[in-house]
Structures are given as structure tokens and as C-alpha cells.
Amino acid sequence: MRGETSPVPRWRDADLEARCTYVVKDQPPARPHLPRTQASLGRTLAFPRSHTSEVYAPGAQLHHVLDTRDLRCRDWMRYINPAPGTAAQNLVACQHDRNICFYALAPILPGAELLMWPGREVAQRLQCPALAAKLAQPQRPTSRLALQLDAVNLSMPKTPRPGALPPKKQSSRPKYECNICAKTFGQLSNLKVHLRVHSGERPFQCPICKKRFTQLAHLQKHRLVHTGEKPHECLVCHKRFSSTSNLKTHLRLHSGEKPYQCPLCPGRFTQQVHLRLHRRLHELERRHRCPHLHPLSLALHQRACHPRVPGATHDFGLEGERADASQAAGLADSLPQRGAERGTPGLLLMDKASGSALLPLPRYGLPVKQEASPMQPA
């Protein structure tokens, strides 16, 4: 794609192998009930050869051993991100005997990311185009979490390392850090509550349905579903809601506020989830778009920006487009390699210049399920 702009890797596959870099398979998260902040990272490393993983400190000193069957231990490895190039790389995965080891190429300061550079060739060999594309970008990949080296310790006793920086206290206020996910909190009690997301502890149980909650406030809110109580009333339409958040969302209907704007078209939405779904349509459209076509499908634009009025039969502005599209759909249906995505006739590709229908790009007729990760639009 734009490999020309990428930093020229000095290590090729052969180099990686020569240096014993072991490529671990990137798998979807094994536990769907992970906290979202973690699950969204979508990185779980599998260790096919061994049940232990040794972590080495700089100087090749064995730091500690992880049992990779233990998900709590394995999870931290998801924080290892692909480095944009060898310059940023500070971590190397290697195979030692039958164990997977990581060692630091450079000092890893608190707050630094763990960046491993698998190499573009490796990414391609793993058939991971997203990673390959990431590696092809000049800027560093955006990582949502910077892993503190201390977080690696997990349940290990904290032995102060010589040369280790003092515990987090930037900006005078002491910070309490979760040593599992490195999130920091201003108050210890907040950290304690937070730790329940890792431990799974749910101390508060509903006496009626036995459902358990991590926080008392959640249980109290939950009680309303049994009592049917809706304490929050919309003063405009007098509809009642069980929570302030839901009321607030509802109030946008009256105020007309639509905070979530599509960056690709003038469409706006009251709820983020609606924007997300809408953007997925753009994404699908983009994948099926012929490079010659105008970037915005008029059909999609029309739907988002000029929503149908209830009772109205159709939007006139779109009618001509629709005619084109349905014509094209009929044409395309007789052509090979269509049919998987039939649900979007309005988006069917017409080359405006030639007036002819365009075939989808080769092999773009993948199952729609594959669409699941449109790169999480900030």
C-alpha cells in the first residue's frame, strides 16, 4: 500500500529467526467477559509450546516465571504492541529451549510501552493485514495502555529494584496503581473497587434475582427493575426513566442535540452506538468502493442527512440514484461473485463516468462477519 513511507526495517525474517525471535500467534481474546478496556485491545498471545513464560530483566537476569495457563498472568502480554520499526522496539520475544522469553533491548522506563517488532514480513506471513498496515505507517501505533514495568509483577512480591523510579506521584498527588492493568487512581478506595474487575469479586447480591454486582450503587440501581420504579421524569413529555443517564439521552430528543457526528458525512446522532453502526456502513461502503467512484455514496449520504419523514413515501432527491442503483443491482446480480452482500443495493457501485456497473474488487466478497473490526474509530 504505502510501504514506501515506512521506516526501512533492518531486520528481515531471516534476521529475526537468526536472533531467535519467536513469533507468537495473535488470537482474539479468549474471554469475552473481559473488561472492555482490555477486550478492545483484542490481543491475546498464545504459547503453543510451553506452559511457562520467563521474563528477563535487562542483563539477562531471570526476573520471574509466568504460568501462561493462568489467564491472569497471560493477560498482561496483550499490552505488548507492535513497534513501528526497530528504532522504537524495546522488547524481543525469543524462544529459549521450550519456553517463550521476553527480554528488553533497551531500558524500559515506567510509563513506557512494551513494543515488540515482529516485522512486516512476519505480519504478512501471519496473514494479518491490519498489523501489516500498521507497521507500514510511519507514526507509532496508538496504544491505549502504557504498561508499567511494575504491572508485570502481578502477584509477585514487590521487590524494589535498584534504579527503579519512585512510585507514581507526579503532580504532588499520590497515585495508586493497579498492578494488573496499570491504571492509576487518586484514592485507594477507588483502586480497591477497581480491583474487583480483575478478581471478579461481586459482593453485592440482589435478593430477588440473585444477580451480583461489584458496587452497591449498581445493586441499588438494579433494584428498580424489580420495583418498576422510575424516579427520573422528563419535564417535557413526562416520560419516566430509571436512570439519569437514560433520561439525559432522552432529553436530547427534545433539545435536538446530536453530539455524535459522522466525520465522513453530515449525519448526526443522539447516541454513540448509532454513529458507530452508521460508520460501519461507511466502512463497508469503502471496502466495496471502486477507486474511480466518488468517495461518498449518495444513497448513504442521503439516508443519514435527510432521514425519511414518517408517513412520507420516499425522498425525491434520492429517487434518481435509487433507480440507477436498482438497475445496477439487476445487472450485477447476473455477474459472478456477487450475491454474498445483497443487502445494500443502494450502495451498489456505479461508475458515474462510464455509467456502467462496477464489479467489486477481487476477493472483497468476504463474509460480512469479517467486518467486525473497523479500527475502532476513536
The binding site for DNA (CB under 7 A) comprises 35-37, 183, 185-190, 192-194, 196-197, 211, 213-218, 220-222, 224-225, 230, 239, 241-246, 248-250, 253, 267, 269-274, 276-278, 281, 284, 300, 303-304, 307, 310, 343-344
Nearer Cβ to DNA (62/208): 208
CA distance linking residue 6 with residue 284, whole number of Å: 26
**Residue with cell string 498464545:** 46
Q: Is 191 among the residues that bind Zn ion (CB under 5 A)?
A: no
215 binds, among Zn ion, DNA, none (CB under 5 to 8 A by kind): DNA
Q: How many residues lie near Zn ion (CB under 5 A)?
A: 12
Shortest reach from residue 258's CB to DNA, in Å: 8
CA distance linking residue 164 with residue 108, whole number of Å: 10
Q: Is 1 among the residues that bind Zn ion (CB under 5 A)?
A: no
224 binds, among Zn ion, DNA, none (CB under 5 to 8 A by kind): DNA
In degrees and rounded to multiples of 5, residue 2 shows phi and psi of: -120, 55
Shortest reach from residue 315's CB to DNA, in Å: 12
Q: Is 130 among the residues that bind Zn ion (CB under 5 A)?
A: no
Greatest alpha-carbon pair distance for the chain in Å reads 74
Q: Is 234 among the residues that bind Zn ion (CB under 5 A)?
A: yes
E strand segments, the chain = 26-27, 44-45, 52-57, 61-67, 80-82, 91-96, 99-104, 114-116, 176-177, 184-185, 204-205, 212-213, 232-233, 240-241, 260-261, 268-269
Nearer Cβ to DNA (15/319): 319
- Out of 156, 178, 193, 359, point to the residue binding Zn ion (CB under 5 A): 178
Strand 204-205 vs strand 212-213: parallel, antiparallel, or unpaired?
Answer: antiparallel
236 binds, among Zn ion, DNA, none (CB under 5 to 8 A by kind): Zn ion
CA distance linking residue 109 with residue 313, whole number of Å: 63
- Out of 208, 216, 273, 361, point to the residue binding Zn ion (CB under 5 A): 208
130 binds, among DNA, Zn ion, none (CB under 5 to 8 A by kind): none
Which stretch, 4-12, 44-52, 211-219, 327-335, contacts Zn ion (CB under 5 A)? Answer: 211-219
| Contact assessment for residue 120 and residue 107, using Cβ atoms and an 8 Å cutoff | no
Shortest reach from residue 22's CB to DNA, in Å: 32
CA distance linking residue 98 with residue 373, whole number of Å: 33
305 binds, among DNA, Zn ion, none (CB under 5 to 8 A by kind): none
Strand 99-104 vs strand 52-57: parallel, antiparallel, or unpaired?
Answer: parallel
180 binds, among DNA, Zn ion, none (CB under 5 to 8 A by kind): Zn ion
CA distance linking residue 261 with residue 272, whole number of Å: 9
Strand 44-45 vs strand 232-233: parallel, antiparallel, or unpaired?
Answer: unpaired
217 binds, among Zn ion, DNA, none (CB under 5 to 8 A by kind): DNA
Per the structure block, which three cell numbers stand in for 244? Answer: 439519569
Nearer Cβ to DNA (211/287): 211
CA distance linking residue 218 with residue 220, whole number of Å: 5
DSSP for 241-308, written as a single string: ESSHHHHHHHHHHHH----EE-SSSS-EESSHHHHHHHHHHHHHHHHH--TTS-SS-HHHHHHHHSPP
CA distance linking residue 3 with residue 227, whole number of Å: 60
Shortest reach from residue 181's CB to Zn ion, in Å: 3
24 binds, among Zn ion, DNA, none (CB under 5 to 8 A by kind): none
Nearer Cβ to Zn ion (78/288): 78
Binding site for Zn ion (CB under 5 A): 178, 180-181, 183, 206, 208-209, 211, 234, 236-237, 239
